[in-house]
Structure 1
């Protein structure tokens, strides 16, 4: 199974590579600049903060995210995974893909946060980078910080819709939506972040003030062309970060 490297930083599974960015409950920023409604959510997510004690007796809190899959979408995506393995890539594995997508999401979101748009070349569709630069460059510093998802702060990852399609020239494509829930300590105004969750996360012996974190969502769509002779690369072709890139 091929594991191409993502800009020399991360390995992606099952001959994967990336090209779109997009997200839940807000307009989608896509390559054409048109808006598209997000598909039905693949999972309902419940968040709780549960206390526990470490070996040293320290009182800590742990964030638990529970996903409840939509049965229809779950069944439909399993059919698509079967079709991908049967007709496109016999070594395709959604668990490996999801892990690679998670690493790619963290890496690309950090580049966006730091406005390193040149570094997105080869990872994100070329015609999308300019739109991202226009959006990100004008964001307040706290909004930019909130774009970045540290790997340890990604609470939940799940595949969304899967698409298989052909263009008028007979070229074959597969697209996979990945949804991410992650924590950020960026200070964001409550009135502009309707629909997100805010809670206290206490780590330590309880003497320090609990840190306030917010649970944000992001959706990245990954697309690969499976036409014979085309490099086996997945590209991020759509991005949405909830309430940040509106």
Structure 2
């Protein structure tokens, strides 16, 4: 299943996702000494923060897209749609609804290897998104076929049950440093980073102007810090 952003409606629809088996490999996942398997859905680079060089490069990429590929493209409506896609896809994965996600057999195996606690962190509500940023706008151009593909990688920072942490931090201020530190650690352990890649064919004769998810990953930074 894929989630497609339509240029006309800016809403996400359902279709077929095509994932590369290469991206689904578990060969490069590191494990902690206690055999704990870190939370990871796909073997993609773990991206946490914006990159200044890419931010500058993205500015010029957007100029090229608007000037030569799609004059109506704007990053704000795209980002809004990407947030919708994150919430819809993550809920399906978190609910183990792989019948609605055709072609994700390998990813289902990855999901089944997660602990129950990790699985609970997969579904994302839009209110839990505390940060999102277009990390990289990449363009793939083939002069022989005259094809123009655009792939945008988005970073999402998720804080599960953020309102509960807000109350906990307020009460912890009046307590001992130990309680405050424990509250901070609990909050840190429940931060999830999501990296989503969106792909669109912007060739002149492209029949579909929709965005599809070409890769995704949910992972917990605290699990890798402990390794």
So what's the TM-score if we normalise by structure 2? 0.67
1:239 equivalent in structure 2: 216
Cα shift at 1:112: 0.9
1:226-245 per-position Cα deviation (integer Å, ceiling 9, x unaligned): 2314211111111111149x
Change (3 A) 1:118 1:40: closer
Which among 196, 201, 204 is matched to residue 166 of structure 2?
A: 201
What CA distance in whole angstroms lies between the structure 1 residues aligned with 2:45 and 2:202? 25
Change (3 A) 1:4 1:74: closer
Cα shift at 1:115: 1.2
What CA distance in whole angstroms lies between the structure 1 residues aligned with 2:170 and 2:141? 57
Q: Any unmatched runs of 5+ in structure 2?
A: 1-6, 29-42, 173-178
1:207-237 per-position Cα deviation (integer Å, ceiling 9, x unaligned): 9x97954211110000011231421111111
Change (3 A) 1:34 1:99: farther
Over the aligned positions, Cα root-mean-square deviation in angstroms equals 3.7
CA contact (8 A) 2:84 2:126 kept: yes
What CA distance in whole angstroms lies between the structure 1 residues aligned with 2:56 and 2:151? 17
What CA distance in whole angstroms lies between the structure 2 residues aligned with 1:173 and 1:32? 24
1:104 equivalent in structure 2: 85
Q: Any unmatched runs of 5+ in structure 1?
A: 9-16, 22-28, 44-69, 186-198
CA contact (8 A) 1:221 1:239 kept: yes
2:147 equivalent in structure 1: 171
Aligned counterparts, 1:44-83, within 5 A: 70-83=51-64
2:50 is aligned with 1:89? no
Change (3 A) 1:229 1:134: same
2:160 equivalent in structure 1: 184
What CA distance in whole angstroms lies between the structure 2 residues aligned with 1:103 and 1:215? 19
Cα shift at 1:90: 0.6
2:119 is aligned with 1:144? yes
Q: Which structure's residues are more often helix, by fraction? A: 2
1:73-128 per-position Cα deviation (integer Å, ceiling 9, x unaligned): 2211010111111111110000111111011111111111111123235xxxx4xx
What CA distance in whole angstroms lies between the structure 2 residues aligned with 1:230 and 1:155? 35
SS at match of 1:232: coil
Across the two proteins, how many residue pairs are aligned to each other?
Answer: 185
Q: Which moved more, 1:160-169 or 1:77-86?
A: 160-169
